[in-house]
């Protein structure tokens, strides 16, 4: 679970997603960019919504296990940055 109000990237999401750990995330654009449809989202600051999602996942057994989270390698990332800057 990543219950952030603001986030720069979200490396723990990548790490957990690559291990197929169910993701329950604040509904932030950066988290959607990383996890897409591979996660369950709840509105930022809405405790009741978070509790509902957790209940569904634990009691209802409706957890999504990410299968397709992919990030760039350091080589890909640096090449992309060079393309943008040069």
| Tens digits of pLDDT across the chain (86 residues) | 667 766 667 788 888 998 999 999 999 998 998 899 999 999 998 999 999 998 888 787 778 888 888 777 889 989 999 999 99
Whole-Å CA distances, 39 to 30, 50, 53, 69: 13, 13, 11, 10
* DSSP state at residue 2: B
């Amino acid at each position: 679970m990543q219950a952030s109000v603001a986030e720069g990237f979200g490396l723990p999401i990548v790490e957990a997603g690559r291990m197929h750990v169910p993701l329950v995330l604040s509904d932030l654009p950066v988290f959607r960019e990383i996890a897409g449809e591979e996660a369950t989202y709840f509105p930022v600051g809405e405790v009741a919504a978070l509790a509902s999602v957790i209940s569904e996942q634990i009691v209802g057994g409706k957890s999504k296990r990410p299968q397709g989270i992919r990030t760039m390698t350091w080589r890909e990332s640096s090449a992309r940055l060079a393309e943008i800057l040069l």
